């Protein structure tokens, strides 16, 4: 991933925060027929240091299972907030006119070797953890135990666990750091005024980076 210095995010804690907030990963690997991409929600564990571990599951019918029997190098991409930035939002537009559109975004790339974990107890714990994380904001959180045991047993028989111990973690926060202070302020204002959840999240990122 191309990361200009001003957009490089070095904080593991901040990258972990993005992964937990946006757990659906694009999992890229090399298969016998070429590059392969799967979209899998992954649960992050902080250990081992410094980058942690990603855990999830895939269908036994997924061809990826045949490719990872012995472990394969994998890239998990996590997408945070993103937003189109109009040049009309920049305060300097009136002064010079020298502005162009761009796109702000925050992403994390996690590298490691993907391995299969074909163990019922491990899979049970992984499903409980992944469910608990995503049900936490719900008014009445659902748990795996809410479903009939025989139904869960049948569903679990169709999946297998996967795990990646992260060996490298890259973060790119392209959130208007290359703009002068007045443009950062006007972008924050415009994003907030749009009233959309995604733009509100981006406004918060631009604001946080502007304060560093």
- pLDDT digit string (tens) for 97-109? 888 999 999 999 9
Q: Is residue 145 part of a domain?
A: yes
Beta bridge partners of 116: 162
Backbone φ and ψ for 37, nearest 5 degrees, come out as -130, 130
Q: Is residue 33 part of a domain?
A: yes
Q: Prior bond to 50 cis, omega within 30?
A: yes
Q: Is residue 199 part of a domain?
A: no
Domain that holds residue 174: 5-178
Q: Is residue 193 part of a domain?
A: no
pLDDT on residue 197: 80
Tally of domains within the chain? 1
pTM: 0.93
Q: Is residue 114 part of a domain?
A: yes
pLDDT on residue 84: 94
Tracing tokens 């904080």 back to the chain, one arrives at 11
CATH of the domain at 84: 2.30.110.10
Which value, in Å, is the radius of gyration of the alpha carbons in the chain? 20
pLDDT on residue 70: 66
CA distance 92 to 88: 9
Using DSSP, state whether 50 is helix, strand or coil.
Answer: coil
Contact at 8 Å (CB) between 117 and 60? no
DSSP classification of residue 6: G
Q: How does 180-204 read in b/e, with b if 16+ C-beta sit within 10 Å?
A: eeebbbbbbebbbeeeeeebebbbe
Q: Is residue 205 part of a domain?
A: no
pLDDT on residue 99: 85
pLDDT on residue 30: 85
pLDDT on residue 194: 86
Contact at 8 Å (CB) between 39 and 26? yes
Q: Is residue 189 part of a domain?
A: no
Nearest to 53 by CA among 132, 139, 113: 113
pLDDT on residue 31: 82
Q: List, for the chain, all residue ranges whose pLDDT scores fall below the cut of 70.
A: 69-70
Q: Is residue 200 part of a domain?
A: no
pLDDT on residue 96: 84
What's the half-sphere exposure (Cβ side, CA atoms, 13 Å) at 194? 18
DSSP classification of residue 88: G
């Amino acid at each position: 991933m191309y990361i200009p210095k001003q957009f490089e995010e070095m904080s593991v804690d901040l990258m972990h925060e993005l992964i937990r907030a946006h757990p659906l990963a694009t999992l890229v690997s090399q298969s016998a027929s070429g590059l392969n991409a799967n979209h899998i929600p992954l649960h992050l564990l902080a250990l081992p240091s410094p980058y942690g571990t990603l855990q999830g599951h895939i269908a036994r019918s997924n061809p990826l299972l045949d490719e990872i029997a012995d472990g394969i190098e994998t890239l998990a991409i996590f997408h945070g907030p993103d937003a189109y930035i109009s040049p009309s939002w920049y305060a300097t537009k009136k002064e010079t006119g020298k502005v162009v559109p761009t796109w702000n975004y925050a992403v994390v790339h996690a590298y490691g070797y993907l391995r299969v974990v074909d163990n019922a107890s491990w899979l049970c714990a992984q499903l409980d953890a992944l469910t608990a994380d995503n049900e936490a904001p719900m008014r009445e959180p659902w748990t795996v135990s809410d479903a009939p045991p025989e139904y869960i047993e049948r569903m679990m028989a169709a999946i297998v666990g996967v795990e990646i111990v992260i060996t490298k973690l890259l973060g790119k926060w392209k959130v208007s750091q290359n703009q002068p202070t007045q443009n950062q302020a006007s972008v924050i204002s415009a994003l907030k005024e749009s009233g959309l959840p995604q733009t509100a999240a981006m406004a918060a990122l631009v604001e946080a980076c502007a304060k560093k």
